[in-house]
Structure 1
Amino acid sequence: MSLVVYLAALVFGMTSVLLFRRPRTALRNPLTVSTCAAIVLGALVFVCAAPATLATVNDLTGVPNFGAPLTYGMLSAYSCAVLVLLINWRGGSRARVRRLVLRAMAAYGLLVVAIVVLFALADADTERLTDLDTYYAGTPFMREMILLYLLGHTAAMLVMCAVCVKWGREVGGLLRTGLRLILLGALLDVVGFQLTKYAAIGARWTGHDLDFLSTTVAPPMASLAALLCSAGFALPRLLPPVLAHWRGLGDYRRLEPLWSLVEPVSTAPAPPTGWWQLPQARLQWREVSIHDALLTLAPYFDHRVRERVRDRALHAGRSPHEARLAAEAAMLADAARRAAAREEPPGATGTYRLHATEVLGPSGLVELAQALQRPAPRTAASDSAAPRSLTETLADPEEPHVA
């Protein structure tokens, strides 16, 4: 059982590491700080609740069941952190947020103090590592301590459920998905953990034995509920950058044909090395390097090549945009050939701007790279020939082209 609980704590804690990957930036964001605090406290609850941890704490302190108020106090702190996170997530004026946060911290601070005081007053000399809630369900002061920590946690989860239902009607996209995961986790916590605890304790009060609900059913339900809540809190913040890096990796690869063509003339610094370089950083370097190479090749642009290929593409039925891309790809391939052969630049280059330099981001360069791989526009005289890409056509010395 301890191994399963420790594994849940590890997964829980890793989420906070991912959210807190940039400490200097994260510390200035109350939402990130409160999210990480809630997740870390949730992980600590699992660590403290593991029977192996309870036994170690009891041995170190020399107080039987000292791990109980420690775990219940940590669970109360987690409940408070969840409410603080919801307050920061909701937002509002700084004064209002600060006031609500202080109220939540004060309420749960008093709850933690009450748990410690009740444990100190109780007679709990028999160590119980897995069934303390039911074993001491009828013991004075221990009974009140157990009910207090359960009620405090129940209040936090019910507030979370209400907030998630309300906000879920007002937002969409990833935020709504995250709220649904949090709602599912909170409901699972209420039904699978808290109600089973209440039922097992109530059974003890009436002389029945439903301890398995508290010792066997509740712990895994609490673990699953906490993981769902953690995923709900982290998803809206982690998934967008993950998707951005995924798209960056795709664009980086799609730029390969263009980069292979212009790399010999690029004067950009050496690319960053190391497996830790994220796709977005690699893509940004490739964009800068390609634009640098385009500036170097600009004097070699032959607009007669561009106009000829454009007219041929329009005649072949391509749209004006496709024709422009095909013409620019042909002109760029011809310029790269001239630069590689150390030929003299054409007489008149003009001030023409490539489509790739007119749009923000890598989309224009990606279109240009894809145009380099498309079959070159063919005239009626060459329809029987096998289609070849523009770079292949212009690189073939036997293929006629405008010099």
Structure 2
Amino acid sequence: MSVVVYVAAGVLALSGAVLFRRPRAGVRAVRNPLTVSTCAAIALGALVLVCSAPLTLAAVNDLTGVPNFGAPLTYGMLSAYSCSLFILLINWRGGSRERIRRMVLLGIAAYGALIVAIVVLFALADAHTERLTDLDTYYADTPFMREMIVLYLVGHSVATIGLCAVGVKWGREVTGLLRTGLRLILIGSMLDVLGFQLTKYTAVVARWTGHDLDFLSTVIAPPMASLGALTCSVGFVLPRLLPSLAAHWHSLRDLRTLGPLWSSLRFASTAPPPPGSWWRLPRERLQWREVAIHDALLALAPYFDDRVRERALGGALRAGRSAHRARLMAEAAMLCDAVRQAAARARPLETPSGYRLHATTSAGTNGLAELVELAQEFTRSSHVGTVRVGTVTATPDRTRGAP
């Protein structure tokens, strides 16, 4: 059981680290109360899982020399996690800075008092028999321990039920990834409420009434708590991380599409080598490659021949191509011709074309889209193989520094 709990804690902690240290967000994350409270909730959830593992409980008990000392430590951590959920709810709801600050301090005071009460009740209780997996039910009838167990469960229930209520309300008001994230948080909170808290309550009350349902607390509750925490962490991270991952995936796709074009044009580019190394993010590599290709296109402009472009355009239109596709085919043909002439060290045209490629006249994402389309058409051209051989042969020393 300890291994499963440790794995769940590790995944939980990793999701928090990724959310906090996602690309270009580190400094902004420190200044964003919502991000800080989310990461704090995830981190404390991971600590609760680590503390609740039987191996950790045994180690804590041995180190302190106090039987069951791991119990108030775990319950205190769980109360701190509940407090972080309460603070997260406050930041989600928003409002004036003063109101948020007042509510946060109120939540910290309430759960701080709960943690103190847990420690005091444990100190007053007679709990000298070490129990690593069934402490809640074993000491369910023991004075002070009974109150401690009820207090930590009630404190955790207040926070998670509030999280469920907010998830249900806001799930109807938002759309897209945010709605998906809220639904995952709601599912995780319900797993916690029904799979962990309800089973704990049931097992403890069964002990009070003279029945034995300990398996609910020892067998069902721990994995359900781990599953609920993991589901909530996915709900927290998904809406904030997935758009960035999708953007990098699209950048990697465009980077690979531009590869053949860059292989043919790199000899003409005077752009400096890219900073960093192979592990740079796809978006950064794409930005450098786009700049380098534009630099090469500018260098090849004196070799652009309108006659080549016009012949290719007329042939494409006669073949039934759309105006857009015909224009791309004509530009690719003119570019192929310019690359061959430049690679062969031919003299530039005396009267070069004044035509400008659409990829160099469009800005932003439109410019990148035009460049990707031009690269695709360039790759389809039957001249690409010849161009690539001539390029590499003519300038073997220009092949370094490409991302």
3-state SS, counterpart of residue 35 of structure 1: helix
Residues 30 and 88 in structure 1, CA contact (< 8 A), matched pair in contact too: yes
- How far the C-alpha of 1:91 sits from its partner, in A, is 3.4
Question: Residue 374 and residue 92 in structure 1: after superposition, are their counterparts in 2 closer, same or farther (change >3 A)?
Answer: farther
**Which sits farther off after the overlay, 55-64 or 88-97?**
88-97
Deviations 1:251-310 (A, max 9, x none): 001111211221111111224554421211211111111011111111221122222222
Query: Using the alignment, how far apart are the partners of 1:15 and 1:40 within structure 2?
Result: 9
- How far the C-alpha of 1:93 sits from its partner, in A, is 3.5
Residues 20 and 36 in structure 1, CA contact (< 8 A), matched pair in contact too: yes
Of 336, 339, 357, 2:342 maps to: 339
Q: Counterpart of 2:379?
A: 373
TM-score (norm 2): 0.90
Q: Counterpart of 1:146?
A: 149
Deviations 1:198-244 (A, max 9, x none): 01000000011111111111001111111101111111112111111
Question: Residue 9 and residue 296 in structure 1: after superposition, are their counterparts in 2 closer, same or farther (change >3 A)?
Answer: same
Query: Using the alignment, how far apart are the partners of 1:93 and 1:199 within structure 2?
Result: 41
**Which sits farther off after the overlay, 188-197 or 293-302?**
293-302
The code of the aligned residue for 1:314 comes to: L
Residues 189 and 221 in structure 1, CA contact (< 8 A), matched pair in contact too: yes
Q: How many residue pairs are counted as aligned between the two chains?
A: 384
Cα root mean square deviation, aligned:
2.0
Is it true that 1:27 corresponds to 2:30 in the alignment? Answer: yes
Of 360, 364, 375, 1:360 maps to: 364
Is it true that 1:137 corresponds to 2:140 in the alignment? Answer: yes
Question: Residue 225 and residue 391 in structure 1: after superposition, are their counterparts in 2 closer, same or farther (change >3 A)?
Answer: same
Residues 263 and 388 in structure 2, CA contact (< 8 A), matched pair in contact too: no
Query: Using the alignment, how far apart are the partners of 2:387 and 2:293 within structure 1?
Result: 20
Query: Using the alignment, how far apart are the partners of 2:31 and 2:388 within structure 1?
Result: 55
Q: Counterpart of 1:46?
A: 49
Matches within 5 A, 1:242-253: 242-253=245-256
TM-score (norm 1): 0.90
Residues 164 and 179 in structure 1, CA contact (< 8 A), matched pair in contact too: yes
The code of the aligned residue for 1:145 comes to: M
Is it true that 1:60 corresponds to 2:63 in the alignment? Answer: yes
Residues 261 and 379 in structure 2, CA contact (< 8 A), matched pair in contact too: no
3-state SS, counterpart of residue 27 of structure 1: helix
Question: Residue 394 and residue 238 in structure 1: after superposition, are their counterparts in 2 closer, same or farther (change >3 A)?
Answer: closer
Residues 330 and 391 in structure 1, CA contact (< 8 A), matched pair in contact too: no
Is it true that 1:298 corresponds to 2:306 in the alignment? Answer: no
- How far the C-alpha of 1:329 sits from its partner, in A, is 1.0
Q: Counterpart of 1:220?
A: 223
Residues 330 and 394 in structure 1, CA contact (< 8 A), matched pair in contact too: no
Deviations 1:96-144 (A, max 9, x none): 3323322222221221122112222222222211111111111121111
Is it true that 1:194 corresponds to 2:197 in the alignment? Answer: yes
Q: Counterpart of 1:120?
A: 123
The code of the aligned residue for 1:184 comes to: I
Query: Using the alignment, how far apart are the partners of 2:247 and 2:307 within structure 1?
Result: 39
3-state SS, counterpart of residue 344 of structure 1: coil
Deviations 1:291-342 (A, max 9, x none): 1111111122112222222222222222221111111111111111111122
Query: Using the alignment, how far apart are the partners of 2:270 and 2:173 within structure 1?
Result: 51
3-state SS, counterpart of residue 370 of structure 2: helix
Q: Percent identity?
A: 70
- How far the C-alpha of 1:160 sits from its partner, in A, is 0.7
Deviations 1:350-395 (A, max 9, x none): 54321112142321110000111335xxxxxxxxxxxxx3546989
